[in-house]
Structure 1
């Protein structure tokens, strides 16, 4: 896995609103859409847990949590513009409203840029360039597998192709009752 230049984020003094303020802003953004609110709250919880278990630096952890909260911010615009909530449209429509929200909440440009990058790639499984990106993919899948009622075969295939963190694999296995197949670590 390639690493992005995390020192741009990790060496900065935290700025911007608290995670709780971002949660409140996103709940307000998705007002009346309990399903979407429930979804991003679960993704946030898993991302927070996985980031902590993987030992992310504090600023990267905070960035991951905020990206998890905002990752689907483009769904409503995608549905209006394309009549679809497909991942490609979420990625296309999400960064602009996320950038606006984060600017209003006082975040610095490098932080906003990284969050918007993650939002714009949270359904793209190639070119993962950092642990924040990897963990966001895993956290979103942990929730989507349940919400979409994926088969065990589908979950195993995704595990093999996408999951890279030890914590993510362990959590996926426990949640979905998977036991490693022969030759699988």
Structure 2
């Protein structure tokens, strides 16, 4: 995990906002994963995906001048794949992490617990960073959050 983290710090060198963002998403993903008692393999995939989830912002900004969610999903997996291959992760881990990166702004058809937790962890950070109002927070809590641990964190953090 430390190798992935450091590679992402280097990748976003000079952009402390992005580094702080993925650090927080990783921490929440890990805590939700622990609370939901995910197995070790799932936790490894979840943690890597949480650290790398926004890797597509940089190439999207370079190519299109914007880094919206859909562009992050399309531009991120190829960059993540190269980085993970260089770090010598297994194909199984690379495929799942790339899938999660390529879907982390898609909130329908969430297929596994790692995907659900990644979405929830990202929302916990984005709710604060985007200064969402109480009505929006309640809506996200109702429509997106599914894990008991994620719901507990959201309610406790934002008082909803």
TM bucket, shorter chain: over 0.9
Structure 1 counterpart of 2:157: 175
Distance 2:64 2:127 in 1: 24
Structure 2 counterpart of 1:98: 80
* Alignment TM-score, normalising by the size of structure 1: 0.86
* 2:63 is equivalent to residue 78 of structure 1: no
Q: Once the 2 structures are TM-superposed, how far is the Cα of residue 81 of structure 1 from its aligned partner?
A: 1.3
Structure 2 counterpart of 1:87: 69
Larger Rg: 1
* 2:9 is equivalent to residue 27 of structure 1: yes
Q: Once the 2 structures are TM-superposed, how far is the Cα of residue 80 of structure 1 from its aligned partner?
A: 1.5
Structure 1 counterpart of 2:143: 161
Structure 2 counterpart of 1:140: 122
Q: Once the 2 structures are TM-superposed, how far is the Cα of residue 44 of structure 1 from its aligned partner?
A: 0.3
Distance 2:59 2:79 in 1: 9
Q: Deviations over 1:130-159 (max 9, x none)?
A: 000000000000000000000010010011
Which has the larger helix fraction? 2
Structure 1: which 4+ aligned runs deviate by more than 6 Å?
none
| Structure 2: runs of 5 or more not aligned | none
Question: How many residue pairs are counted as aligned between the two chains?
Answer: 160
Distance 2:60 2:148 in 1: 33
Please give the residue correspondences for 1:62-73 in structure 2 after superposition, counting only pairs within 5 Å: 62-73=44-55
Q: Once the 2 structures are TM-superposed, how far is the Cα of residue 39 of structure 1 from its aligned partner?
A: 0.2
* Alignment TM-score, normalising by the size of structure 2: 0.99
